[in-house]
């Protein structure tokens, strides 16, 4: 499947969320299929919530054509990887058809979510939590 897909024309985009990065390639195809890190969508993202996150861009944009999605992800957790794949799919759909930009932008799928985990500070228990104070 990878060999056949490599010869066809595709739309490539990078999606990011927290520390997760996803390189997404959209190939025009007769049916919609997903391959993430060489695995099927159902195998890589087993929960219904994660599957809905990944397919969310297609549900909102509703493009006229069907695509084969080939994504490679690394870093972060499974939820961040799912959101990174969705971000990459959204960006690739805009490259395919600029008319979809408005609907995807309204759904906030083109903006990279900038929230990161704050680092732990010296002398504190967590990033902002201080040790319990005792009077005596």
Q: Where are the domains of the chain?
A: 2-106
User: Residue 35: beta bridge partners?
Assistant: 40, 70
Enter the tokens of residue 107. Answer: 């759904």
Give the pTM: 0.86
Q: Give the CATH number of domain 2-106; options: 2.60.210.10, 3.10.310.30, 3.40.50.720, 3.30.230.10.
A: 3.30.230.10
First to last CA, the chain: 69
The answer to whether the beta carbons of residues 122 and 89 sit under 8 Å apart is: no
Helix (H, G, I), strand (E, B) or coil at 31: coil
Tens of pLDDT along the chain (136 residues)? 455 545 678 999 999 999 999 999 999 988 889 999 999 999 999 999 999 999 999 999 888 889 999 999 999 999 999 999 999 999 999 999 899 999 999 999 999 999 999 999 999 999 999 999 998 8
* Contact indicator for 33, 39 with CB cutoff of 8 Å: no
């Amino acid at each position: 499947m990878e060999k056949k897909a490599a010869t066809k024309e595709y739309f490539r985009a990078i999606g990011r969320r927290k520390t997760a990065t996803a390189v997404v390639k959209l190939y025009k195809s007769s049916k919609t299929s997903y391959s993430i890190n060489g695995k099927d969508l159902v195998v890589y993202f087993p929960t219904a919530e994660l599957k809905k996150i990944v397919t969310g861009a297609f549900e909102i944009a509703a493009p006229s054509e069907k695509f084969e999605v080939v994504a490679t992800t690394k870093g972060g957790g499974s939820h961040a990887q799912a959101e990174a794949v969705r971000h990459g799919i959204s960006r690739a759909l805009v490259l395919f058809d600029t008319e979809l930009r408005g609907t995807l932008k309204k759904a906030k799928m083109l903006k990279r979510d900038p929230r990161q985990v704050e680092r732990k500070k010296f002398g504190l228990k967590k990033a902002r939590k201080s040790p319990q104070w005792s009077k005596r």
